[in-house]
């Protein structure tokens, strides 16, 4: 462990979960870390890359519940850096999107701590890759809107793909909100769980049919818009995948 008068903090994007989707810089910084404060949903494969000598602390939040408050996280970042350590704040996806990075940056600036942001691949892009669907197909969508399921108030707009992080397990409430905002019940949509990971699962349907689907486990993301309309080939592939998923669930429940 290398101690200096004052350490440095790195806000690092862990990407969607597949360790091969980490940037080279993220991997280098992670391997040099003395302390890692990580989100709850960071994959075990990525956590395994952290040196055994590093202090690892989960400071993640699930469904608004937090074992460690944001203020406590900010204080730990400052305290560990002031002790001369190299500190990594490891965040799912990209650190600058729905990750409270702004509050942490403010705390570091107030304390006079040097920091650097290392971007990561957002779950939205991993989900689009899994669906083999362009979010901005020029024939259907020219705009993308990012929001969260906790406080999302998206307005319907023709030619827009809505990407909703953390939609939660209650699809009925989310669909009611979207329909109230002007979306049609026949609007194509998809939910992707654990994008890029070995446990990745996805469903394609329409907003009207989504409440009838078994909710997929977190971390998940909801994509809505005409761009999500599957080709016949994609639809057949999805049906095969869902049949396999249903079979596995049946076997596991026996």
- Annotated catalytic residues are 39, 61, 166
CA–CA distance, 123 with 220 (Å, rounded to integer): 9
Q: Residue 142: exposed, middle, or buried by beta-carbon count in 10 A (0-12, 13-18, 19+)?
A: middle
Whether the Cβ atoms of residue 26 and residue 13 lie closer than 8 Å to each other? yes
* Cα-Cα-Cα-Cα dihedral sign, residues 74, 45, 4, 102: negative
DSSP codes joined into one string, 36-50: EEE-TT--HHHHTTS
Q: What are 11's two structure tokens?
A: 């806000």
Q: Which residues contact 248 (CB under 8 A, 6 or more apart)?
A: none
Token pair 């990750």: residue: 99
Q: Residue 139: exposed, middle, or buried by beta-carbon count in 10 A (0-12, 13-18, 19+)?
A: exposed
Which helix (H) or strand (E) is 111 found in, with range?
Answer: helix 101-111
Q: Any idea what DSSP says for residue 40? A: T
């Amino acid at each position: 462990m290398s101690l200096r008068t004052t350490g440095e903090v790195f806000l690092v994007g862990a990407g969607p979960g597949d360790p091969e989707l980490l940037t080279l810089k993220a991997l280098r910084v992670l391997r040099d870390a003395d302390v890692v404060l990580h989100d709850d949903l960071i994959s075990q494969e990525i956590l395994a890359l952290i040196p055994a000598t590093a202090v690892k602390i989960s400071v993640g939040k699930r469904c608004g519940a937090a074992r460690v408050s944001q203020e406590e996280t900010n204080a730990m970042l400052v305290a560990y850096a002031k002790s001369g350590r190299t500190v990594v704040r490891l965040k799912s996806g990209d650190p600058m999107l729905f990750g409270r990075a702004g509050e942490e940056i403010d705390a570091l600036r107030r304390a006079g701590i040097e920091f650097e942001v290392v971007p990561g691949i957002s779950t939205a892009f991993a989900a689009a890759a899994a669906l083999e669907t362009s979010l901005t197909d020029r024939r259907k969508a020219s705009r993308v809107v990012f929001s969260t399921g906790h406080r999302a108030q998206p307005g319907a707009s023709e030619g827009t793909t809505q990407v909703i992080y953390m939609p939660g397990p209650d699809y009925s409430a989310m669909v009611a909100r979207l329909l109230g905002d002007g979306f049609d019940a026949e609007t194509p949509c998809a939910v992707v769980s654990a994008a890029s990971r070995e446990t990745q699962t996805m469903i394609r349907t329409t907003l009207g049919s989504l409440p009838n689907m078994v909710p997929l486990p977190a971390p998940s993301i909801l994509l809505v818009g005409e761009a999500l309309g599957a080709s016949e080939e994609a639809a057949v592939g999805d049906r095969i995948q869902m049949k396999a998923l249903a079979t596995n669930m049946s076997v596991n429940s026996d």
